[in-house]
Amino acid sequence: MSSPNYREFAYYAFGLKTGARSFLRNGFAAGFRATASSLLQPVNSYTRFPEYFFLEEAVKGRAFGSPLARGVYPRASTAEADPHAKPGAPAAVAALARGRRGVRLEVLDVGSPKLAAFFLASRYDVRLRATDISPLNVGPYERMWAAIRKKARGAIEFETQDGRQLTYSDGTFDLAYALSVLEHIEGDGGDAAAVGEMLRVVKPGGRLVLSVPFGPKYIEQKIAGMAHSVERVRASGLFFFQRIYDKRRIESNILDVAKRGGEILRIVTVFRRDSLTAAAAHKIRGLPESIVTASGFLNPFFSRAFNRHAEGLIDNFQSDYGLLHSFGDIYGDAVITIAKSPAGKTAEGRGAGG
């Protein structure tokens, strides 16, 4: 089996350049640990690369078997159209794929790793709202973006938002995405509520891209003393929280909600290569975090060696995880692309106009 190309070196090089420019402009304003991580480990895990890849494919409009709803956007002429776009693809998507100025798509990032937002706004003509529930994941990235925005094609605005209760009006965005976010939303129905909210704020015919951890068994991993996966609190307070979904939970918590107001365009299962991944995971579980961070330059090579994908939801792949989140856990990811129905109905049954 040949190693798939998830554009690892393009994303890694961009992350490294972003970290270096931020350091030259901001020094250690974000703290020594965060600054060192941005330089030594610009893509924090080899598992991230397929998520970035499939998000970019969705943005370019090349990943689907069916185009967005006809008539939602102005059409491009044959001469203007992206050669990779499907027949009938909207002019806005075709223009975005070429990076042409003049057609700026509205994009929403709900709590995702901000390198994805930086990459999209640097390469494509988008107006991107980069949000997070914690201010700790907003301020530092505003400073990083300031170091690279002059040469960017698009623009980013940073905001604090709760994915379960977005403050945007119905039908605001052409595309919304949440990469490895839904699993961290605490509370029964929190992930489903976020899917419904993201679908609400996307325009009829617009797209929603989601990725969540996926394995053969459903588990909720918790660590006392952490909130929103980033804020340290008292041990008796909130905690680090993560779901690893199985097929049933993906269908009930995500797909069933999405189908009430949209069409599932594509589902991809990203998994780790058998045996090699397991052996590597057991080796690195005992390593200090500092060594892992310093070895970040190996992540593109790890991705080529370990990451694979298949169409649809499959669960017969290598996995090794338990109730307590630990470095070296092995599981896959489900990447889901959704098109909002032209009727514009949300999970709550409201129309796109409110």
Q: 280 falls in which pLDDT band (50, 70, 90)?
A: low
Output the CA angle 220-224-230, nearest 5 degrees. Answer: 85
Q: In this predicted structure, which of 9-23, 165-179, 227-241, 325-339 has the lowest mean pLDDT? A: 227-241
The average pLDDT across 172-178 equals 96
Burial class (CB in 10 A: 0-12, 13-18, 19+), 119: buried
The full set of domain ranges for the chain reads 8-340
pLDDT score at 191: 96
Q: Which CATH architecture has domain 8-340?
A: 3-Layer(aba) Sandwich (3.40)
Query: Lowest mean pLDDT: which of 80-84, 112-116, 204-208?
Result: 80-84
pLDDT in tens, 107-141: 999 999 999 999 999 999 999 999 999 887 788 89
CA gap 263, 255 in Å, rounded: 9
Tell me, what DSSP letter sits at residue 311?
E
Structure tokens at 249: 């939970």
> 348: alpha, beta or left, given left = phi > 0 and alpha = psi -120 to 50?
alpha
Spatial distance between the Cα atoms of 187 and 185, rounded to a whole number of angstroms? 7
Sequential DSSP letters for 272-293 = EPTTHHHHHHHHHTTS-HHHHH
Alpha helices in 202-354 (DSSP H): 247-250, 256-259, 276-284, 289-294, 299-306
> Residue 304: which residues within 8 A CB-CB, separation 6 or more?
3, 4, 5, 8
- Distant-in-sequence, close-in-space partners of 87: CB < 8 Å, separation ≥ 6: 67
Nearest-angstrom CA–CA distance, 105 and 297: 33
What pLDDT was estimated at residue 234?
A: 55
Question: Both tokens of residue 138?
Answer: 């907003």
CA quadruple 308, 331, 314, 220: dihedral sign:
negative
Say whether pLDDT at 252 is over 80: yes
Position 238 scores a pLDDT of 47
Confidence check: pLDDT of 57 > 70? yes
> Residue 35 belongs to what H/E stretch?
helix 32-40
H/E element holding 55? Answer: helix 48-60
Yes or no: say if 296 and 307 are a contact pair by the CB < 8 Å rule. no
Amino acid at 219: I
pLDDT of amino acid 273: 85
At 341, give phi and psi (nearest 5°): -65, 150
pLDDT at 353 over 80: no
In 10 A of CB 132, how many CB atoms? 24
Residue 191 contacts residue 243 (beta carbons within 8 Å):
yes
Tally DSSP H helices, then E strands, for the chain: 12, 12
